[in-house]
Amino acid sequence: MNPQAAAGNLELLPAAEHPDLLPDPVRAALPAGAWVAAIDPDLADTQALVEATGAPLDASANCVLVAGRRDGEERVAACVVLADTRADVNGAVRRALGVRKASFLPVERAVAESGMEFGGITPVGLPASWRLLVDTRVARADWVLIGSGLRRSKLVVRGADVAALPGAEVVDLHLPAPTTAP
């Protein structure tokens, strides 16, 4: 698959040549060969973007931020899953963090500490103190369409590059597909 296949009808540009479409932390951590596309900020939500651009849902990835506590210590993680699944926050993520309960990070805090805009948070350039949990399906993807850190653009990167980001841990994070009775 080529990067355009993950982007639908979005116009891809070499990300390194378009720093105006990326916040500082993302620019500093950008994987080689990444692409960026300008979008209407009203389409930052994955479902809206997929519907408007024809980008495949199973080639789009979402990054959610979660936190939990153990022995008085807070544990924060960014979790990256394909958009056609959900992160198993109460199972796989909670176990990976070693906490009894994991919750989504409040929006205000996620934005302030990541240096990114809500609706555009990406695993690229997150604080080094946060764990980065990448679902196995993302790691195996040829290319994924993900947030850029801003609501007005998206990145297209290789799944292997997401899995190779500093501190990334590849684990099964997605909820299992529902089973159907015979």
| Tens-digit pLDDT string for the chain (182 aa) | 799 999 999 999 999 999 999 999 999 999 999 999 999 999 999 999 999 999 999 999 999 999 999 998 999 999 999 999 988 888 999 999 999 999 999 999 999 999 999 999 999 999 999 999 999 999 999 999 999 999 999 999 999 999 999 999 999 998 765 555 55
- Residue spans of the domains in the chain: they are 3-171
Domain spanning 3-171, CATH class = alpha beta
**63 DSSP β-pair partners:** 80
Per-residue model confidence (pLDDT) at position 1:
74
User: What predicted TM-score, i.e. pTM, was given to this entire model?
Assistant: 0.92
The residues, any chain, with a CB within 8 Å of residue 142's CB and separated by 6 or more, are 1, 5, 6, 59, 158, 159
Structure tokens at 111: 């934005």
